[in-house]
Structure 1
Amino acid sequence: MVPWYWYLALAIVDVQGNYLIVKAYQYTSITSVTLLDCWTIPWVIILTWIALGTRYSPWQFVGAAVCVLGLGLVLLSDVGVSGGGGSKPIIGDTLVIAGTVCYAFSNVGEEFCVKRKDRVELLAMLGIFGVLVGTCEIAVLERKDLESVKWSATMICLFGGFAAATFLFYTVVPFVMKMSGATLFNLSLLTSDMWAVAIRVFFYHDQVDWLYYLAFGLVAIGLIIYSVKENNTANGGDPEALQYERIPQESSAVNGQHETCSDTNTERA
């Protein structure tokens, strides 16, 4: 049984993470936001190690470190070495990194809840509390900006498209958390970087600095290292390097099922 206040806490950190990330778009470029959003990965690794008892192989740490190195190049560009884009890129980058901390707590908490309870309850409770928290935050922090919006057919379609994409994203997330966990989920999101660069170049006609391409290359290499080592472990590698371990409640349930099956087979014999 997952207490209701767990879902409330998850909703608070998730809404706050989304708020900080969206706010960052006012100050920095879409490419910087998308790449720096991957800072969620190291935070998730730390939290899953501490809270869920997840263990990683040394090569998986190397892969994650290479990803973080690539993201560091984005910060280097936005500081002004090569020109990052945006009105206040440092403030925007700081907001993104703060948002990734909230995302990490939210993702690890969702993994914990979805493995203790069913996905439907997680979606329902997170949706209910998320609406309440989001409404209160808009009323306090963004009321004047919301009142100043000039509504048009284009604006309504944009908001509708964003809402539909977000709904689909949050509907799929629990399934991924159940199958692979928070770390691989966030690593898989790195593919969004490719789309961010493409949109910036072809739709906004912006010039993408060469450091962004180098950063994207490092992130891709790090993802490959991490994924290959994870697959090797899953296919019979060192058992001590297993990436995901069952949480205590899940292990107890599985052991109970094994004992029941053994008793049944004994009776049939």
Structure 2
Amino acid sequence: MAGKEGGYVGRSRVVMEDGGGSGGGDGRGGGSMKKTIMWFRERMTLVAVILGQMVAFLNASTAISSTELVKRGINAPTSQSFLNYALLAIVYGSVVLLRKKGLRAKWYYYILLALVDVEANFLVVKAYQYTSMTSVMLLLCWSIPSVIILTWLFLKTRYGFIQFFGVAVCIGGLVVIVFSDVHGGGDRTRGPNPLKGDLIVVAGATLYAVSNVSEEFLVKNVDRIEVMAMLGVFGAIVGACQIAILERQELKSIKWTVGAVMPFIGFSLALFLFYSLVPILLKISGSTMLNLSLLTADAWSVLIRIFVYHQKVDWMYFLAFFMVSSGIIIFSWASREKIAAPDGQNSLQLSERDEEDGQRNTNTYAPRFATPKT
């Protein structure tokens, strides 16, 4: 490792000297390069925060649409997501066809990704039949520790003790929500079977984590447009098969009034925009940042439940949201400290990973798309 680290430090020093134009012993060139890198990272952080809030708002919008459909007695979770996959296939698939180039990744990878993604959407939308919108939104936070475990195992991302502590605080908030749902007494706004709904959400959030980490890998190493197109094509195929088996009778029994059609369309459009923005965010900041950003959708769900549906929210929801928010702040602060370390080991490891990523994308896949997730 000493030789490897020394090699990277040597190459970084050469770049600093060239970029600084003078590279003298005072290190002014290196300082200028460091300031440029930090300025760029701050701008990318700002972009990531804005994109994260847009994604969170879209996620809350899909929750509103699902709740409206449940109120009308419509139970067709796969059908709700089908139009989204069809739109992805049409829009991004057209771009892929116009390029007239072959796929950069094996087709069966996209089939596996689509299968996991369709089932994740199925489970989460299904959960609205049994538990409240607030519980669904908060319990989706389970995807964060799942993503951290998967990125640590498969993408070799390393996290510090303080980051793990932040995640533990988030999980504590989830436990409070489940406790509130199970011991909520006669409050029917929690749904007919809160515990069953909560378990379904946790299963769906785990599949979301698998999907997000897989997407992150493909987006960073293949092509955002191709990933979206293939996810749409195979997602539509898997969804159509599942609809034919599980939801055919349900669709026949639905009275297609304006009140039933509008939530369907609203859900599909919000989900399509969500899927279009997620790959961009994944490429900028990764799947952990994506899932942390989605936690702000919980605040929207609580506000919507209070002011739109005029429902009473148990005080434990506010305690849980405080715990989850505190965990996010702890995790984000620890991540910022790790990135901002100017001369320590963390900075060296970051430079090493950046250079390895750059070499991999330059030598294996070309061209690499600019980042303004999926």
TM-score (norm 2): 0.65
Q: Could you tell me which amino acid in structure 1 is paired with residue 170 of structure 2?
A: C
Q: Deviations over 1:106-165 (max 9, x none)?
A: 000000101111111111111111111111111111211111111111221111111110
Are 1:47 and 2:154 matched, yes or no? no
Show the counterpart of 1:263: none
Alignment of 1:57-68 (within 5 A): 57-68=160-171
Superposition deviation, residue 240 in structure 1: 4.1
Size of the aligned set, in residue pairs, is 257
Q: Could you tell me which amino acid in structure 1 is paired with residue 359 of structure 2?
A: S
The one of 119, 122, 132 aligned to 2:227 = 122
Distance 1:125 1:249 in 2: 27
Show the counterpart of 1:30: 133
Structure 1 residues 248 and 102 mapped into 2: Cα distance closer, same or farther (>3 Å)? Answer: farther
Are 1:86 and 2:191 matched, yes or no? yes
Superposition deviation, residue 228 in structure 1: 1.0
Superposition deviation, residue 250 in structure 1: 3.1
Superposition deviation, residue 253 in structure 1: 2.7
Structure 1 residues 255 and 145 mapped into 2: Cα distance closer, same or farther (>3 Å)? Answer: closer
Alignment of 1:100-111 (within 5 A): 100-111=205-216
Show the counterpart of 1:73: 176
Superposition deviation, residue 239 in structure 1: 3.5
Alignment of 1:1-269 (within 5 A): 1-80=104-183, 85-236=190-341, 238-240=344-346, 246=353, 250=357, 252-253=359-360
Alignment gaps of 5+ in structure 2:
1-103, 365-374
Q: Could you tell me which amino acid in structure 2 is paired with residue 195 of structure 1?
A: W
Q: Could you tell me which amino acid in structure 1 is paired with residue 164 of structure 2?
A: F
Show the counterpart of 2:48: none
Alignment gaps of 5+ in structure 1:
258-269
Question: Do the aligned partners of 2:120 and 2:207 also contact (CA within 8 Å) in 1?
Answer: yes
Distance 2:351 2:207 in 1: 22
Question: Do the aligned partners of 1:68 and 1:219 also contact (CA within 8 Å) in 2?
Answer: yes
Structure 1 residues 163 and 203 mapped into 2: Cα distance closer, same or farther (>3 Å)? Answer: same
Question: Do the aligned partners of 2:169 and 2:326 also contact (CA within 8 Å) in 1?
Answer: yes
Higher alpha-carbon Rg: 2
Structure 1 residues 108 and 245 mapped into 2: Cα distance closer, same or farther (>3 Å)? Answer: farther
Superposition deviation, residue 244 in structure 1: 11
Identity percentage of aligned residues:
50
Instruction: Specify the SS of the correspondent of 2:295.
Output: helix
Distance 1:117 1:244 in 2: 22
Q: Deviations over 1:22-56 (max 9, x none)?
A: 00000001111000011001111110000100001
Distance 2:119 2:336 in 1: 34
Q: Deviations over 1:184-242 (max 9, x none)?
A: 11011000000110111111111100100000000010011111111111112654486
Instruction: Specify the SS of the correspondent of 1:150.
Output: coil
Greater RCO (CA < 8 Å, at least 6 residues apart): 1
Superposition deviation, residue 247 in structure 1: 9.3
Question: Do the aligned partners of 1:55 and 1:243 also contact (CA within 8 Å) in 2?
Answer: no
Question: Do the aligned partners of 2:130 and 2:193 also contact (CA within 8 Å) in 1?
Answer: yes
Q: Which is further off, 209-218 or 195-204?
A: 195-204
Superposition deviation, residue 21 in structure 1: 0.4
Distance 1:229 1:69 in 2: 19
Distance 2:252 2:230 in 1: 29
Question: Do the aligned partners of 2:282 and 2:290 also contact (CA within 8 Å) in 1?
Answer: yes
Structure 1 residues 236 and 18 mapped into 2: Cα distance closer, same or farther (>3 Å)? Answer: same
**What is the root-mean-square deviation of aligned Cα atoms in Å?**
2.2
Question: Do the aligned partners of 2:221 and 2:361 also contact (CA within 8 Å) in 1?
Answer: no
TM-score (norm 1): 0.89
